[in-house]
Amino acid sequence: MHRDIDRVLISQYQIGARVRELAQKITDDHLSGQERDRAEITIVPILTGAMIFCGDLIRQIPIQMRIGLLAVSSYPGENIRTQGSKILGQQLGDIHGRHVLLVDDILDSGGTIKAVVPLLESQGTASVKTCVLLRKDRPGVQNVQADYVGFDIPDEFVVGYGLDYNDYYRNLPDIVTLKREIISNSKK
């Protein structure tokens, strides 16, 4: 697996530091609008890519929380470009009147946020904010609002820290690019 890596784009140490910064900002913003003792939030990670990021993030947020789940597919199989976001399943619980933080791994087309935020809002949430680990430098992405962004990255296909290629590489601790032959060989 490690021999498939072309280069490390963002190290696990950079990720850890940025996750702590994001958690502090989310905590500060959330507590400013609520009584500190009664503050609550519902965290909704987009599965499966955001699970590692979300796990690290929520351990740094000292607010009472619930967790809802959404499974969304954008890169089925060996695709390296989004195929459009499709909601596969949800287990949200009652989010009516709750402050919701949607957590996703990567903002590359905006399709997931555009599909999911209205779904959450339609259930009567008090607010919906979005947090993404990565935001690609791609046309159209600037038109999609993310309230919290970990890193801006070039328009490259990346894996690691929850992001996958054909369901592999999620367990890498860094955000990396793969060697070209890995992607082109699997297409044959």
* Residue closest to 54 by CA, chosen among 62, 46, 64: 46
**How far apart, in whole angstroms, are the C-alpha atoms of residue 80 and residue 56?**
26
108 is annotated as an active-site residue: yes
Sign of the Cα pseudo-torsion (35, 38, 42, 43, in order): positive
d(C-alpha 52, C-alpha 125), whole Å: 25
User: How many Å apart are CA 132 and CA 48, to the nearest integer?
Assistant: 14
**Structure tokens given for 153:** 């990255």
From the candidates 56, 105, 108, 174, give the one annotated as an active-site residue: 108
Residues known to be catalytic: 108
